[in-house]
Amino acid sequence: MKLWKKISLLTTSVLLVTTGVTGGIVVHRTVQYNETKTVENYEQQLHATAYALGKEISDSELEGYTEATRSSFYNYILKKYGASKYILIKDGEVVCNLTAFDLVNPREERWAGTEASADFRQVGEQHLLILGKKLPADSLSDYRLVLVQDITELYADMEKQAWLFAEIYFAAAVLSVLIIFLITGRLLKPLRKLQQAAADISEGRLGQRAQAGSKDEIGAMAASFNRMADRIEEQVTELEKVSAQRGMLLGSLTHELKTPMTSIIGYSDTLLHVKLSEERREQALHRIHDECRRLERLSGKLMNLIGLYDNDSIRLEETEVEDLFSRVADLEKYHLEECGMTLETRSDGQMRRLDRDLFESLLINLIDNAVKAGKEGDAIRLEAAGNEISVTDQGRGIPPGDLPRVTEAFYMVDKSRSRKAGGIGLGLALCSRIAELHNASLHIESREGEGTRVTVVFQGEA
């Protein structure tokens, strides 16, 4: 069963039961109220009549009367005050009954009190109200007055009201069912659209979104769904981008492998089939060794770059920048001494949240590039100030046309010179990715013949 049908049936059932019970209670209370008011009304009449009869009935006056005369007197005074409503009881015997009702037990103690006692009886289709009390007469005899009132019409009116309520109730119930079904279907319409949007996304149509026009829970759920869909689309786009980058990396790797592999195969084939002098043989072995080392560097850096795209979770911890610079200087000490260069470091004592291993790799790559671009006697500066960490060299610089592409994997400004220096064109690509993982960006400024400055600019405060 559809959700909107379940909600409609449940709501309708609760509404009908609640309304029915409430209406029944109201009708019952109305009947009780009408009975109470009717009793109060006739109690007032009974009290007034009993008071008047008590003043007129006197034993001293009735002693000399015959039985027939006393009976006529009782009939006279009852008709005088109540027509056919009353029954007069004396000492437990009915002495006058002007009603059509036969009082079976006139000695009932309920009529012996000074306050009226009420009783409801049904005789056939007739509903009777019976009220009785003791007369306040100045007499030694026990006189009681009983009022018998036909209230059938009152019950007939209440029955009409009950039927009218039932008719209105069922009419309102039918109308409520129709309205609830229509409103529920309309309210849950956004859920059906949300379901359709989810189905479209599951089939690959990532641009589909749910309509979130209302501000209720369904609207909030649609908005959350849209945010989730946006995130999924972003992730799929990122995965497609990474996949494309991997394809590019593998394509570039295949291209880069051709040259060293060709050299290795050529020299090894020469060693196998050509008789060479010891000097030429050593030269060939050195070339094979150099090309193998180059392949090792190429595969290592490629794996590092792919690993950074596979895992976006890095371990950031508070790091003292000056201590980081000291560590990098120690790692590069012998390399710089071999090239006859110096490294100058300057830090303003700041602390940063960094992945120490990755950031060491970034700085070492930048310093290695500076060494390759420089000459003996040059000084390389490693500086930290504000939201920036920079590496500045005094090398040959980068042509303006090559600046936008130097962070692409395998891109080299001067391929022949880079290969001679051991370069494979992955260093700045690694640096750029590491900077992104630290919520930073890589800015490169360079002038040919003057040098290059590579700056890591962080987005937040130190």
**pLDDT tens profile 393-421:** 988 887 776 666 666 654 544 444 444 44
Coil, strand, or helix at residue 254?
Answer: helix
- Categorize the per-residue pLDDT at 382 as very low, low, confident or very high, splitting at 50, 70 and 90: very high
For residue 173, pLDDT over 60 is answered with yes
Q: How confident is the model at residue 345 (pLDDT cuts 50, 70, 90)?
A: very high
Mean pLDDT, the chain, whole residue set: 77
| Residue 186 to residues 4, 8, 326, 449, Cα–Cα distance (Å) | 9, 11, 69, 73
Percent above pLDDT 70 for the chain: 77
pLDDT at residue 83 is higher than 70: no
210-312: what fold?
Helix Hairpins (1.10.287)
Query: What is the tens place of the pLDDT at every residue in 264-283?
Result: 888 788 888 888 888 888 88
CA–CA separation, 211 vs 425, rounded Å? 48
Q: Report how far residue 368's alpha carbon sits from residue 389's, in angstroms, rounded to the nearest whole number.
A: 16
Question: Tokens in use for 148?
Answer: 């018998």
| 3-172 belongs to CATH 2.60.40 | no
Tell me which of 225 and 340 has the higher pLDDT: 340
Residues 6+ apart with CB under 8 A from 244: none
pLDDT of residue 419: 43
Q: What 8-state DSSP symbol labels residue 405? A: G
pLDDT single digits (tens) 221-230: 777 777 777 7
Give the residue-averaged pLDDT of 355-378. Answer: 84
Give the mean pLDDT of 232-236.
Answer: 78
Averaged over 419-436, what is the pLDDT?
Answer: 63
Is the distance from CB of 94 to CB of 88 less than 8 angstroms? Answer: yes
User: pTM of the prediction?
Assistant: 0.40
Domain boundaries, the chain: 3-172, 210-312, 315-458
Radius of gyration of the chain (CA): 55
* pLDDT score at 418: 44
- The percentage of the chain sitting over the pLDDT mark of 90, rounded to a whole number, equals 7
pLDDT at res. 299 = 63
What pLDDT is stored for residue 423 in this prediction? 43
User: What CATH number should be reported for the domain whose range is 315-458?
Assistant: 3.30.565.10
Listed range (120-124, 132-136, 157-161, 189-193) with the worst mean pLDDT: 189-193
